[in-house]
Amino acid sequence: MMKPVALHKGDRVAVVAPAGAPVKEHLLEGVRVLEEMGLEVMIGQHVFDVEEDGAEMDRKRVTDLHDAFFDPSISGIFCANGGFGSARVAPMLDYERIAKNPKVFWGYSDITYLLNAIQKWSGLTTFHGPMVASDLNVEQRTAETLSSFQALFSGEPQVYDSSHSSLNIISKGTGEGHLVGGNMTLLTNGLGTPYQVDAAGAILLLEDVGEPAFKIDMMLTHLHQAGVFNDVQGVVIGNLQVEPDEYSRIRRVLQDFFVGAPFPVVENFSIGHCQPNYSVPLGVQAKLTTSPPRLLIESGVR
């Protein structure tokens, strides 16, 4: 995998919205946070556009993405928020040219589709991390969430252990491989497409938001029957953002599904639709252990 160059204070970065227009006030609050990190922020020209014509909106979103990737003055690209529609954008991207212009690409939720597509077809490390409008506005952001951006300024590996959140072991063991994955709904939607996640020899990250236990069971079964778990080396389950009663039902689903798994499975990482929301690079080497429960991840930048 190609790694983008680490960010430095004074670098120029772009904010784009491939999955839908953000709340303007929230986006501007998030932009100020990026500026406080020492970054110069350029907002894509179509970030706030809302079109009734879906094809025209897709074209505008692709224009913003291409402009950001192909502008040599831009060092990183941050997504504004999630939503829907990233899957429509994926076939329209120029992956060969993106590979020639490697830079930080950061987001999650619906952006999972693009994180995996760019990683798969451009060979570029991408970043599953908090977004500018939905996570950095004053109502949502936490100090821990903000701290995760520092991984872009350093070549140091990341360590996630029980000091970040209470980690629950579902299946014991040790696994090593490149880190892939993201939002479970988007990963399931990508099955059978050119953008299907390839988890062979990998540590697989799964997170979602507000899905009931029966849907989690359906998605895990779908991923399993599609062969996604065939050569997985470990599974990291992020925050699923459900009420306590539903969480108990989901825990039983996870226990039943991964019983006897020949790879480690650890859940309750604060990765995904939660605060704090810790970032992780995708495509780099990672090691998942259960004694103690810990995820060690190689830096996503060089």
Residues with active-site annotation:
109, 207, 273
DSSP state of 58: H
Strands (E), 20-101: 40-43, 74-79
R_g over Cα of the chain: 18
Coil, strand or helix: which one is 218? helix
Who's near 259: CB < 8 A, 6+ residues apart?
Answer: 171
> What region does 167 belong to: left with phi over 0, alpha with psi -120 to 50, or beta?
beta
Q: Please, what sign has the CA dihedral across residues 171, 177, 179, 180? A: negative
Q: How far apart are CA 43 and CA 47, in angstroms?
A: 7
Structural tokens at position 131: 């977004």
